[in-house]
Structure 1
Amino acid sequence: MIAALATLLVFQLLGEALVRTLGLPVPGPVLGLALLLPVLAWRPSVLAMVRPTAQTLLQHLSLLFVPAGVGVMLHLQRLGDEALAIGVALVLSTWIGLVAAALTLQALMRLTRGSEPDAASPEGRS
């Protein structure tokens, strides 16, 4: 378990170091996991070593949200003051994400289907 935790923390450290060095707009742990992914795919022995520890961490993931919940409670007044801006940002970002996903899906469907019309589409009916 110690070797697996050390592996996870080393990749998190690498991600943090790259983010701070290159000034990337990505959280360090996310970049660290992105760096870990090809290593896990390339070396199944590392995957076998990390898997039990990762599953244990995931089982207790809810405990990691306690500090965030405490932070929200500490800044509840500020959240109330900024409620309109937060609400607008949440609604707009949700809609923008949905539109981006729909457009991406549509473009990928066109790429995979080619130029032949679909039988269910109006162009495919005679």
Structure 2
Amino acid sequence: MIPALAIILLFQLVGEIISRGLGLTLPGPVLGMVGLLAAFLMVPALARMVRPTAQGLLAHLSLLFVPAGVGVVAHFGILRAEGLGLAVALVVSTIAAIAVGALTFSAVARLTGNRADE
């Protein structure tokens, strides 16, 4: 388990170094994950070695959300004071995202000649 965790964290570190070193807007952990995938494709034995640890981490992924929940509770006063504004912002931004997604889908469908009514 320790070697597998070290491999996962090493790829995250390398991704972070590349991201910050080159000034990329892509997060380092994402670059590390892409590198880890490439390593898995090149060395299948590495994937077999890391799989049990990765599955264990994924099985307990919900524990990683505990700090976020604690943060919400710790700032409950701010949430109470600004709750209505946050709720409005969430609803409006969700509706806007759905509308933009639908309009984009329609525009791409028109451009590619794929129409739903055909």
TM above 0.5: yes
Unaligned regions of 5+ residues in structure 1, if any? none
Tell me: CA distance 1:79–1:32, structure 2 relative to 1, closer, same or farther (3 Å). Answer: farther
Aligned to 1:87: 87
- State the AA in 1 paired with 2:80: G
Aligned to 1:39: 39
Tell me: CA distance 1:68–1:50, structure 2 relative to 1, closer, same or farther (3 Å). Answer: same
Superposed CA RMSD: 2.8
What is the correspondence of 1:30-109 to structure 2 with a 5 Å cutoff? 30-103=30-103, 105-106=105-106, 107=108
Tell me: CA distance 1:72–1:40, structure 2 relative to 1, closer, same or farther (3 Å). Answer: same
Tell me: CA distance 1:23–1:61, structure 2 relative to 1, closer, same or farther (3 Å). Answer: same
Unaligned regions of 5+ residues in structure 2, if any? none
Q: Percent identity?
A: 53
- SS class of match (1:34): helix
TM-score (norm 2): 0.72
Tell me: CA distance 1:45–1:76, structure 2 relative to 1, closer, same or farther (3 Å). Answer: same
Count of residues in correspondence between the two structures? 117
Aligned to 1:8: 8
CA distance in 2, matches of 1:34, 1:61: 20
CA distance in 2, matches of 1:97, 1:17: 33
Tell me: CA distance 1:93–1:3, structure 2 relative to 1, closer, same or farther (3 Å). Answer: farther
4+ aligned runs moved over 6 Å, structure 1: none
- SS class of match (1:31): helix
Tell me: CA distance 1:2–1:21, structure 2 relative to 1, closer, same or farther (3 Å). Answer: same
CA distance in 2, matches of 1:42, 1:102: 39
Tell me: CA distance 1:98–1:15, structure 2 relative to 1, closer, same or farther (3 Å). Answer: farther
Cα drift, residue 71 of structure 1: 1.3
- State the AA in 2 paired with 1:13: L
CA distance in 2, matches of 1:41, 1:101: 33
